Amino acid sequence: MEQVKPLISVNALPEARIQSGFPALFRKEVRRFYSVAFQTVGAPILTAVLYLLIFGHVLANSPKIYGYEYASFLIPGLVMMSILQNAFANTSSSLIQSKITGNLVFVLLAPLSHIEFFAAYVGAAMIRGLSVGFGVFMVTIWFAKIPFAAPIWIFIFALLGSALLGSMGLIAGIWADKFDQLAASQNFIIMPATMLSGVFYSIHSLPAFWLTVSHFNPFFYMIDGFRYGFFGDSDVSPYHSLLVLLICMSLVSWLALSMLKKGYKLRH
């Protein structure tokens, strides 16, 4: 008969210590999108390439912007748009799926602080956004000449933009109770705000009214600052864009952290 190994007595176990659960939650969130990378990374890259092929072809004879062909102007905008949309999609879809299927309970039962929770979800969203952005860039770079006037701004805006949208996705994922509520926030807020942020045009080509409206769209500053890193030229100063981005990031992070700390819609 098989011998049953005796279990270690509770009193003989090492004393419980609090060690951070952040690395495991971060790895899990990265593995989650990586395990379906065809859908989470491959598909958005294809979408961006289609945008480039269609708009690049239709508007090939447009006047030069910042001294470059339209396709050159378009590519950085498409890269940033992909970063932002996918960072948002990662946190929001992960949370709503976990909430609806109920497996979020495993994270809620663990001794994770609200800061670890926030950092892990937003960190993974940044990885996905940046991976898609890098993929879009590597595929589209062959279609036009792209300068690198001030690369540090490219990194700053890519990192901060993905963090901001990851945080916004976290808020949307916490707030939404159903998939259609989340889809509404994605289709009626995030999508129009990114599409109307100057991805496809310089806002100086807009009528005065829409030019003013564009200045109230925080996505415009992310796209414009990111584009500055490539062309060394932009619709507004990159410092101005950075300030807007930092203010938005502070407000959104504060809201997301407050919701997590309170357990809003996560703990009863």
Partner 1 sequence: MSALLIHAVKKSYGNLVALDGVSLQVEQGEFFGLLGPNGAGKTTLISSMAGLCTPDSGTIEVMGHDVQKDFRMARRQLGVVPQELVFDPFFTVRETLTFQSGYFGLNKNDDWIDEIMANLDLTNKANANMRSLSGGMKRRVLVAQALVHRPPVIILDEPTAGVDVELRQSLWQFISRLNQAGHTIVLTTHYLEEAESLCGRIAMLKQGRVVALDTTQNLLAKHRPPGMPPKLLGDDGAADLEAVFVKIMAESK
Structure tokens at 192: 């129009």
The whole-angstrom separation of Cα 96 and Cα 94 is: 6
Q: Please name the residue ranges forming H helices in the chain.
A: 22-34, 37, 43-58, 70-101, 105-108, 114-140, 151-175, 179-185, 191-195, 208-214, 218-231, 238-262
Q: How far is the CB of 231 from partner 1 (least distance, A)?
A: 40
Residue 38: CA count within 13 A, CB half-sphere: 0
One of 1, 7, 152, 208 touching partner 1 (CB under 8 A): 7
Q: Of the two residues 106 and 155, which places its CB atom closer to partner 1 in the complex?
A: 106
Among positions 247-266, residues that touch partner 1 (CB under 8 A) are: 263
> Binding of partner 1 at residue 3 (CB under 8 A)?
no
The interface region with partner 1, picked from 30-38, 45-53, 83-91, 223-231 by CB under 8 A, is 30-38
* Polymer length in residues for the chain: 268
Q: Of the two residues 16 and 152, which places its CB atom closer to partner 1 in the complex?
A: 16
The interface region with partner 1, picked from 15-23, 50-58, 156-164, 240-248 by CB under 8 A, is 15-23
Spatial neighbors of 176 by CB under 8 A, at least 6 apart, are 92, 96, 182, 185
Binding-residue total with partner 1 (CB under 8 A):
40
Alpha carbon of residue 92 to chain centroid: 10
Q: Of the two residues 103 and 237, which places its CB atom closer to partner 1 in the complex?
A: 103
Spatial neighbors of 83 by CB under 8 A, at least 6 apart, are 129, 130, 132, 133, 158, 161, 162, 165
The interface region with partner 1, picked from 7-15, 68-76, 152-160, 186-194 by CB under 8 A, is 7-15
> Binding of partner 1 at residue 1 (CB under 8 A)?
no
> Binding of partner 1 at residue 39 (CB under 8 A)?
no
Residue type, 98: S
Q: How far is the CB of 1 from partner 1 (least distance, A)?
A: 14
> Binding of partner 1 at residue 103 (CB under 8 A)?
yes
Using CB under 8 A, list all residues that contact partner 1. 4-11, 13, 16-21, 23-25, 27-28, 31-32, 35-36, 98, 101-103, 105-113, 263, 267-268
